[in-house]
Structure 1
Amino acid sequence: MRSLLRSVAFFSLMQASCLAHSQSSVTLYGIIDTGVEYYNHAAGGGSFAGVPTLTGEMPSEWGLTGVEDLGGGNKAIFRLESGFAPGTGGFNFGGREFGRQANVGLQTAYGSLTLGRQINMTTYTLLNADVIGPSIHSLYVFDSYLAYARSDNAVGYMEKFAGVTVGATYSFGRDAAGPAGPSATNCPGQVAGNFLACKQYTAMIAYDSSHFGAAASYDRMRGGAGASAPLTSSAYTDTHTVVDGYFKLPSVKAGGGWIHRNLSAGAASTLYNLYFFGLTYTPIASLALDAQVDKYIQSGVTSSTGLAARASYYLSRSTSVYSSVGYMINGRHGSTPVSAGGTVEAGAEQLGVMLGMRHLF
């Protein structure tokens, strides 16, 4: 009997010791953002009024993130994040259950290493300088990849040294989980016998202080046989380069930058430059006013100018209402819609308006 009691006591002490050195937590979070939008000069004529399919002021999402303390300053981490359309309840990202992120990793004194589907460095570079963000009227209408810059089957690293952040991702094969969604290339993932097919790598360096910051990133993806046009060969590449910056005062923030895309895909090759500059003014804590101008130039082909303005009123820390107005000035051969997920008649100027509500949890 004494032997049994000693065994039980020893086991209890071991369990308590493990709990003391291995504290873990899981957090549920999300954003629900939707409303009603209107835009004129839709493709085929007429106008559109209804609930947007892609995004409002911010994309709607929900997720789970977890941390386990392994001791010695090391932690195990994971993140599962799903994008959805509030209007229908359906998944965004081409129907993927966790299309925004699905990764696991280790966080140490030397940085965080993650494995799985993850946000890549193009998105992180734009976070601070783009004051409008991935909203209904934004610079992302010029290139949908910018709003959905993710990498499948990827290894990622990020660490901040004083004010300098460095990060990189390497994907062994994109889009293995289908079907294709916005900006996805439907590449068949990790392809045996063709090391280059569907590979992608991204890298970033950034500096942030209390009043200003700057960032730069490089993002190159390769195509593969069976992928969506134009990346139908592993010899074809699609490269994005971003350089941007921002500065902040107590009630004003300004941000701007340059995005360069070089799609090398034979006859379908494309080269463009996209410039943006925006301001955020917060006259009182519960009101934010944003404005941004975006200039898209495809030399010798077309150009377009996007204007966006937004007012957000915070009813609480978690809930806000907003109005957003966008105006797109397309060149003669331009066909960029003012609204994310919208349509436009070629060469038309287009007005878009949205009234919406956002809740964070």
Structure 2
Amino acid sequence: MKKTAVAVGAALLALSAQSAFAQSSVTLYGLVDTTVRYLTNANSNNDGQVAMGEGVETPSRFGLKGTEDLGGGTSAIFKLENQFQLWSGKLDNSSNQLFQRNAYVGLSNTQYGTLTLGRQQTPFFEMMGNIYDPLTVADFWQDSWAYNPVGPFLFTNSSIKYQNDFAGLHVEGMYGFGGVPGSTGENSMYGLTASYTLGPVQAMAGWQQNDVSGKKFNIGNLGLVYTVTPDIKLLAGWLHSQDQTGTVDLAEQQSGAPSLAHVSPNRIDDNFYVGTTWQVTAPLALTAAGYYGHARNAETLDGTLGVGINYSATLLAEYSLSKRTEVYGTVDFTRGTGAYLADYPGRNNQTGVAVGLRNIF
């Protein structure tokens, strides 16, 4: 009888442990993506270049994410995400951060929202990359230059972020701790975005401010998505930024662009975009996007401050071979004048053609 009781107790304990484990999960995920790309005017001699590099939309990455059910609609969550160069195997950053894209832990509640702490994507990047930009904030300079002003500030260390949904309204807010003794504001950041869905229309507005050693970078943006049919979407938006930190002039430059003698103490950019995505058939998707930018008080090649205009257009075709694997091809063109001449290694226009392969796991 005693042995039976022990056996029953052990069985119940085992079932309890299985139940506890069933309420928790850790997932390994990621994607590998690379292209072979031809680019005109790729250096100061205006030579063409054929190279292997990152994917048009999605840099290669892998990560771990986990959740544990704490009961009452509350879960503990975490995410660790790395970005790397598939063609070289190197970490895709100059500081050799192991988890460049995300490294956070938090709590999520079905009613009260989600609170996370660590290194995280800003609300601006999360909204634009997931919903409002037709190319999901692309990777080639010729596709993503409009986002280069905010490029150094797309991720924030030592940050706390909150997000929640209220009927059709989605809000995200973030604060990054500067960590400077005697000054709570220095090297800090804050950002807030709000989006609202009403029928086929999704609209968003956002604001972000970063402090760099006491100087400010500000960006505000508006975005709109209109779902014409379940397979066709139209997208448009505006990004306005003001930079007192001197980072934008350098962030806008391509590799191989001429060195600048100075940087602007108060550069202002207004960038606009329009685009469409079309799921033509189950395996075939087409994307078209156009970007136009106007810079003021930007550093020019002769060391003065001036105006610059840049514009680009991109066509992207993606074909799914399975639920996890796709091939794609893309063509893009970009041209700059004025202050944007400092951002090209050679002539002020470039055409790129690329084919790529992506696998998601």
TM-score per shorter chain, which class?
0.7 to 0.9
| Number of the residue aligned with 1:35 | 35
Superposition pairs of residues 194-273 of structure 1, within 5 angstroms: 194-209=183-198, 211-224=200-213, 234=214, 236-248=215-227, 249-265=229-245, 268-273=265-270
Question: C-alpha offsets along residues 164-203 of structure 1, whole Å, 9 cap, x if unaligned?
Answer: 1111111113xxxxxxxxxxxxxxxx22222222101111
Check the 8 A contact 1:59/1:135 in 2, yes or no: no
The whole-number CA distance in structure 1 between the counterparts of 2:208 and 2:143 is: 18
The whole-number CA distance in structure 2 between the counterparts of 1:307 and 1:157 is: 35
| Number of the residue aligned with 1:131 | 134
Superposition pairs of residues 1-361 of structure 1, within 5 angstroms: 13=12, 16-17=15-16, 20=19, 23-45=23-45, 46-52=47-53, 54-94=54-94, 95-108=96-109, 109-126=111-128, 127-137=130-140, 139-144=143-148, 146=150, 149-173=154-178, 190-209=179-198, 211-224=200-213, 234=214, 236-248=215-227, 249-265=229-245, 268-299=265-296, 300-335=306-341, 344-345=345-346, 348-361=348-361
| Cα distance change of structure 1 residues 105 and 329 upon mapping to structure 2, 3 Å threshold | same
TM-score by length of 2: 0.83
Identical pairs, percent: 28
| Cα distance change of structure 1 residues 355 and 336 upon mapping to structure 2, 3 Å threshold | farther
Question: C-alpha offsets along residues 52-111 of structure 1, whole Å, 9 cap, x if unaligned?
Answer: 2x4433111111110111111110100010011111011113321100000000011200
The whole-number CA distance in structure 2 between the counterparts of 1:273 and 1:145 is: 10
Q: Which moved more, 1:115-124 or 1:259-268?
A: 259-268
The whole-number CA distance in structure 2 between the counterparts of 1:147 and 1:31 is: 22
Partner AA of 2:148 in structure 1:
S
Q: Which moved more, 1:327-336 or 1:59-68?
A: 327-336
Unaligned runs of 5+ in 2: 247-263, 297-305
- Secondary structure (helix, strand or coil) at the match of 1:51 reads strand
Unaligned runs of 5+ in 1: 174-189, 225-233, 338-342
The whole-number CA distance in structure 2 between the counterparts of 1:21 and 1:323 is: 46
Partner AA of 2:219 in structure 1:
H
| Cα distance change of structure 1 residues 322 and 210 upon mapping to structure 2, 3 Å threshold | farther
Check the 8 A contact 1:68/1:76 in 2, yes or no: yes
Partner AA of 2:217 in structure 1:
D
Check the 8 A contact 1:83/1:92 in 2, yes or no: yes
Check the 8 A contact 1:21/1:71 in 2, yes or no: no
Q: How many residue pairs get matched?
A: 327
| Cα distance change of structure 1 residues 153 and 317 upon mapping to structure 2, 3 Å threshold | same
- Secondary structure (helix, strand or coil) at the match of 2:280 reads strand
The whole-number CA distance in structure 2 between the counterparts of 1:211 and 1:121 is: 22
Check the 8 A contact 1:81/1:101 in 2, yes or no: yes
The whole-number CA distance in structure 1 between the counterparts of 2:149 and 2:337 is: 22
The whole-number CA distance in structure 2 between the counterparts of 1:11 and 1:72 is: 28
- Secondary structure (helix, strand or coil) at the match of 1:246 reads strand
TM-score by length of 1: 0.83
1:129 deviation in Å?
1.9
Partner AA of 1:358 in structure 2:
R
Misfit runs of 4+, over 3 Å: 4-22, 136-139, 145-148
